[in-house]
Amino acid sequence: MLHPERTTPQASEAAADILLPLRAIFDRLVESGARYDAAPLFPIDSVEALRAIGVHRLFAPPESGGRHFADARAENAALLDLLRLVGRADLSLGRIVEGHVNALKLFAWYGSAGQKAELAARLRAGEFFGVWATEPPPGVALHRDGDGWRLSGGKIFATGAGGLARAIVTARDQDGETQLVVVPADLAGRVDLSRWRVRGMRATGSGSYDLDGLRPAATDLLGAPGDYGREPRFTAGAWRFLAVQLGGIEALLAETRAAMSEAARGDPLQRAKFGEAVAAARTAYLWVREAAQRAADEAPGAEDFVRMARGVVERAGLDMIELAARIVGTRSAFDGERIDKISRDLSLYLRQAGPDHARDRAAAAWLETDLWGNGDGLW
Ligand SMILES: Cc1cc2nc3c(=O)[nH]c(=O)nc-3n(C[C@H](O)[C@H](O)[C@H](O)COP(=O)(O)OP(=O)(O)OC[C@H]3O[C@@H](n4cnc5c(N)ncnc54)[C@H](O)[C@@H]3O)c2cc1C
């Protein structure tokens, strides 16, 4: 079993008291993660355990009951450690927490005072949120008629459909702009999980959700049209899913180490592979840590740094999956083995939109500008 208290030595001070209760339930989350993966079902016990220690409120706007951090860097440092620790326990749960935190950020940036007050009440009631943007054509549209607002269309890849209380969805308004709308996420007749038959990330229940005919109130419209895509927040925000993926990579490294036989440990060829695995995990960590800081600063070029970090973490994750299998052997593929679950989850979770395109955009930007500037422009 992974010992989280010994594997996060660099946890920031800001995160120390946040991580303590999480470490206390870590083994429980690992166990329930395996159970819900096998079911597969929305991991209600795991979510309940996080709710009980208040994880769902930590990164809410302070007006909604969230914690005060010294600054955005301190907040992201704490969030990085939290997301990677949850990801180490269970990547499906990490995806759910990451979506929830994304929703909290959208409330913090674009919510009105009234919406933040309502969020506070909902968080007190223990509600978890999601953010659903991915959609099949023609996409979700927001119409206005004599009775007020009405949605048409539906979402796919809707993590937590039916399990979460609320989701923020993107909808195209009359002018073709993207408007954020808060909707109930647990209306049973609108959820379809029948096609969520996947190798990994099973417990996220990322099925489809029908929004057709839903009538949001005016107070359910979050922010102004176009806010969702505002940069650098939109692109740089990807650092949060990288933090969860990093947790999966680190968990795979720790499990591989634990599973290495004496014979393998005594063999220089196997040790070389283990060395590569350590380097891959640490490289991912260093990029994600800097991505989190740059996203916090909303610094120029933060988007490109995060775009490139996506490619680095993807490469590290793929390497780790391969190295774990080659070091541990067939055992890595058996049902019930943690290495199998993490590898399956990670292999799917790494599939995010336009991965090569992201890296190419970063490379193009860095060809355009002098990387070093007067000294240390990029690094
Ligand atoms: C477990 C899980 C949970 C998720 N939960 C959510 C959620 O809650 N909310 C949400 O909104 N989304 C969610 N998503 C969706 C996610 O954000 C991505 O949209 C999705 O994973 C991308 O799927 P895809 O690999 O088919 O990508 P696509 O973007 O369809 O790409 C598939 C492949 O096509 C090629 N390609 C794509 N675009 C281009 C291009 N422009 N030029 C050239 N080649 C291209 C690339 O080779 C790419 O690898 C989830 C995804 C997963 C796996």
165-174 confidence digits (pLDDT tens): 999 999 999 9
Among residues 197, 225, 253, the one where a domain terminates is: 225
The single-letter code of the amino acid at 28 is R
Output the DSSP codes for 288-314. HHHHHHHHHHT-TTHHHHHHHHHHHHH
Q: Are 270 and 327 in contact (CB under 8 A)?
A: yes
Q: What are phi and psi of 30, to 5 degrees?
A: -65, -45
Pocket test residue of 36, 166, 206 for ligand 1, highest count of atoms within 8 A of CB: 206
Tell the residue nearest (CA) to atom 8 of ligand 1. Answer: 159
Cα 134 to middle of ligand 1, angstroms = 8
Among residues 225, 257, 292, the one where a domain terminates is: 225
What mean pLDDT comes out for the span 89-106?
Answer: 98
Lowest mean pLDDT: which of 164-168, 358-362, 364-368?
364-368
The token duo for 143 is 């119409």
Residues 288, 346: one domain?
yes
Cα 6 to middle of ligand 1, angstroms = 35
Taking only the tens place, the pLDDT of each residue in 129-148 is 999 999 999 999 999 999 99
How high is the mean pLDDT of the chain?
94
Q: How far is residue 329's CA from residue 30's CA, in Å, rounded to a whole number? A: 22
Taking only the tens place, the pLDDT of each residue in 30-39 is 999 999 999 9
Residue 176: exposed, middle, or buried by beta-carbon count in 10 A (0-12, 13-18, 19+)?
exposed
Tell the residue nearest (CA) to atom 36 of ligand 1. Answer: 354
Ligand 1 binding pocket includes 1 (Cβ within 6 Å): no
**SS3 of 181, please?**
strand
State the pLDDT confidence band at 13, using cuts at 50, 70 and 90: low
Residues 217, 259: one domain?
no
Residues 15, 113: one domain?
yes
Cα 354 to middle of ligand 1, angstroms = 6
Confidence check: pLDDT of 77 > 60: yes
State the pLDDT confidence band at 9, using cuts at 50, 70 and 90: very low
Q: Domain for residue 58, yes or no?
A: yes
Ligand 1 binding pocket includes 161 (Cβ within 6 Å): no
Torsion of CA 94, 95, 100, 103, to 10 degrees: 140
Q: How far is residue 171's CA from residue 150's CA, in Å, rounded to a whole number? A: 10
Residues 139, 158: one domain?
yes
Q: How far is residue 21's CA from residue 159's CA, in Å, rounded to a whole number? A: 25
Among residues 75, 94, 127, the one where a domain terminates is: 127
Number of domains in the chain: 3
What pLDDT is recorded for position 378? 62
What mean pLDDT comes out for the span 302-328?
Answer: 97
Ligand 1 binding pocket includes 157 (Cβ within 6 Å): yes
Tell the residue nearest (CA) to atom 44 of ligand 1. Answer: 354
Confidence check: pLDDT of 78 > 60: yes
Confidence check: pLDDT of 108 > 90: yes
Residues 53, 154: one domain?
no
Cα 233 to middle of ligand 1, angstroms = 19
Q: Domain for residue 377, yes or no?
A: no
* Percent of the chain scoring above 70 in pLDDT: 94
We report the CATH number of the domain holding residue 201 as 2.40.110.10
State the pLDDT confidence band at 5, using cuts at 50, 70 and 90: very low
Q: Domain for residue 269, yes or no?
A: yes
What pLDDT is recorded for position 300? 83
What mean pLDDT comes out for the span 3-30?
Answer: 74
Q: What are phi and psi of 141, to 5 degrees?
A: -125, 150
State the pLDDT confidence band at 379, using cuts at 50, 70 and 90: low
We report the CATH number of the domain holding residue 115 as 1.10.540.10
Q: Are 238 and 303 in contact (CB under 8 A)?
A: no
State the pLDDT confidence band at 2, using cuts at 50, 70 and 90: very low
What pLDDT is recorded for position 375? 63
Cα 130 to middle of ligand 1, angstroms = 17
Q: How far is residue 95's CA from residue 83's CA, in Å, rounded to a whole number? A: 9
Residues 171, 240: one domain?
no
Q: Which residues, other chains included, contact 332 with Cβ-Cβ below 8 Å and sequence gap of 6+?
A: 259, 324, 325, 339, 340, 343
What pLDDT is recorded for position 355? 86
What mean pLDDT comes out for the span 53-58?
Answer: 97
Cα 349 to middle of ligand 1, angstroms = 10
> How many residues are present in the chain?
379
Confidence check: pLDDT of 51 > 70: yes
- Going 361 to 366 to 369 to 375, the CA torsion angle's sign is positive
Ligand 1 binding pocket includes 353 (Cβ within 6 Å): yes
Pocket test residue of 100, 169, 178, 351 for ligand 1, highest count of atoms within 8 A of CB: 351
Tell the residue nearest (CA) to atom 6 of ligand 1. Answer: 157
Q: Domain for residue 195, yes or no?
A: yes
Residues 137, 221: one domain?
yes
Cα 277 to middle of ligand 1, angstroms = 26
Closest atom, ligand 1, to C-alpha of 355? 49
What pLDDT is recorded for position 7? 42
Q: Domain for residue 373, yes or no?
A: no
Cα 219 to middle of ligand 1, angstroms = 30
Residues 212, 240: one domain?
no
Residues 209, 186: one domain?
yes
Confidence check: pLDDT of 377 > 90: no
Query: Domain range spanning residue 92?
Result: 4-127
Residues 18, 68: one domain?
yes
What mean pLDDT comes out for the span 302-310?
Answer: 96
Q: Domain for residue 35, yes or no?
A: yes
Residues 315, 218: one domain?
no
Lowest mean pLDDT: which of 5-19, 160-174, 281-295?
5-19
State the pLDDT confidence band at 1, using cuts at 50, 70 and 90: very low
State the pLDDT confidence band at 216, using cuts at 50, 70 and 90: very high
Residues 361, 239: one domain?
yes
Closest atom, ligand 1, to C-alpha of 167? 8
Q: Are 159 and 96 in contact (CB under 8 A)?
A: yes
Cα 2 to middle of ligand 1, angstroms = 31
